[in-house]
Amino acid sequence: MSRSDLPALTIADLQSLLRRKEVSPREVIDALRARIENVEPKIDAYLSIDFQAAAKEADKVDVDLPLGGVPIAIKDIINVKGQPCTCGSKILANYRSPYDATVIQKLRAAGAVPFGKTNMDEFAMGSSTENSSVKVTRNPWDMSRVPGGSSGGSAAAVAADSAFGGLGTDTGGSIRQPASLCGIVGVKPSYGRVSRFGLVAFASSLDQVGPLTKTVRDSALIMNAMAGHDPQDSTSLSEPVPDYKKNLGRDLKGMRLGLPKEYMIEGIDPQVKSAVDTALKQLQSLGAEIVDVSLPHTDYGIAVYYFLATAEASANLARFDGVRYGHRAKDPKDLLDHYGRTREEGFGAEVKRRIILGTYVLSSGYYDAYYVRAQKVRELIRQDFVKAFEKVDAIVSPTSPVPAFKLGERTADPLAMYLADIFTNTGNLAGICGISVPCGLAKVNGNQPRNDRGSRTLSELPIGLQILGKSLDEARIFQIAHAYEQSTGWHEARPKL
């Protein structure tokens, strides 16, 4: 195999080449670097890359470890020692991490090489990566469209073969939605399954770190390395971590999959609907039974999410005060002027909007009416899932109601942007696990000029199928997603870059 073909490999295939010593970790870094230099000017997925540190680490790595010699791209909200960690924000523009997050320590212990930090919506607030204060990332399938968000940099890099795999974070959909829009696999682990020590907090009752990869198996490999209890994160669960590879290859006979009637909403793109319908038939042909279920409080998901996530964000982001980290306003008149101008200069519009909303929701006159009520409805949403899971093993739905939208299309309308997560954020509210796996390609008018026969060229845009599982039932959603993926091959479709 020629070196320039290496970046297209899955993690599993790359790791077996490394283990057989057919390629060295240093050669992998070099091949990846060449690929990144080639595609990065088109998609802008990375905020910083340290090839030198990566090459040094690669030279020392034990290729017999499960991820030995595999470079992994990291969303720029997870601390990697010595690297920048901007969270896509001006307020952290000059910050460097003094330590490794637990997930990074664990990936390194499994032999992975974290080599670069990826673009994101500022503090993970957004669904398109357009809220990054640094730059816009483009969808590798169509450069006039968004990669989704907020983990859009990691998703675009994996889709463009400029990363073998990446880490993202998912508070309301930020791993699954960009995975869906970029035609790759993305996993939101159950709340508490993966440590958040060293993750910059957005909404602490919702945030989880998870993988973005080309295949389901690759996500299982990363989860094997990363999941588990961490004494440094009191919300992490102590239940033992199963081997997530163990169910891969098992069939779906007897598996009951729930289809929530509330998810077939108006406004869902007809091509998304038809791809998901076809996926359901495919799952049936693999032995699964499709069962109607109801999640009656689904309609409240977006509202509840935006009460709670903004409330938590307003508290979490109080620490960016210009004293302890990052940007500091020049020549303040007094302390209040120092805080006020530091935050005015450092935060972008969406982050400010969230802090204002969250502060309002928590303010003494409105706390009961908004925050406490939203907590109660969150419990009803959680119970919807508990009841549904009494009848079914997993729940299937589209990941996103639409394929990748155009850059700029939703930036002026925050509500339109918030609707991107309509199928994903109830999973975070309930604390359950979910995966998005490619299930088709939509055809839309491309950006290119008419071709010689005078007809408009068509862009192909990926569609994702979401599979939600009970808390700590990751092994089962991996099994279902893998069986589906292997029987269809949608994961093999690649953008033409």
Regarding 154 and contact with ligand GLN (CB under 6 A), the answer is no
Tell me if residue 74 falls in helix, strand or coil: strand
Residues 309-338 that bind ligand GLN (CB under 6 A): 309
Q: Is the link from the previous residue into 132 a cis peptide, with omega within 30 of 0?
A: no
Q: Judged by CB under 6 A, which stretch of 64-72, 167-175, 212-220, 286-294 contacts ligand GLN?
A: 167-175
Radius of gyration of the chain (CA): 21
Minimum CB–partner distance for residue 149 and ligand GLN (Å): 7
Placement of tokens 């945030």 in the chain: 207
Q: One symbol per residue from 24 to 63: x for binding ligand GLN (CB under 6 A), - otherwise; what is it? A: ----------------------------------------
Nearer to ligand GLN by C-beta: 150 or 219? Answer: 150
- Select which of 97, 132, 133, 150 is catalytic: 150
Minimum CB–partner distance for residue 456 and ligand GLN (Å): 31
Q: One symbol per residue from 383 to 422: x for binding ligand GLN (CB under 6 A), - otherwise; what is it? A: --------------------------------------x-
Residues 133-152 that bind ligand GLN (CB under 6 A): 150
Whole-number Å distance between alpha carbons of 163 and 218: 12
Cα-Cα-Cα-Cα dihedral sign, residues 21, 25, 28, 34: negative
- Select which of 97, 128, 154, 174 is catalytic: 174
Q: Of 219, 373, 360, 352, whose CA–CA distance to 303 is shortest?
A: 373
Binding ligand GLN (rule: CB under 6 A), the pick from 124, 179, 220, 435 is 124
Binding ligand GLN (rule: CB under 6 A), the pick from 68, 126, 147, 438 is 126
Instruction: Give me the helices (H) in 61-204, please.
Output: 102-109, 152-159, 176-182
Active site residue 75: yes
Parallel, antiparallel, or unpaired for β 113-118 and 289-293?
Answer: unpaired
Question: For residues 148 and 178, is the Cβ–Cβ distance under 8 A?
Answer: yes
Nearer to ligand GLN by C-beta: 119 or 150? Answer: 150
Active site residue 106: no
Whole-number Å distance between alpha carbons of 227 and 432: 15
DSSP 145: B
Phi then psi dihedrals of residue 468, to 5 deg? -105, 140
Binding ligand GLN (rule: CB under 6 A), the pick from 15, 89, 105, 127 is 127
Q: Where along the sequence are the contacts to ligand GLN (CB under 6 A)?
A: 124-127, 150, 169-174, 202, 309, 421
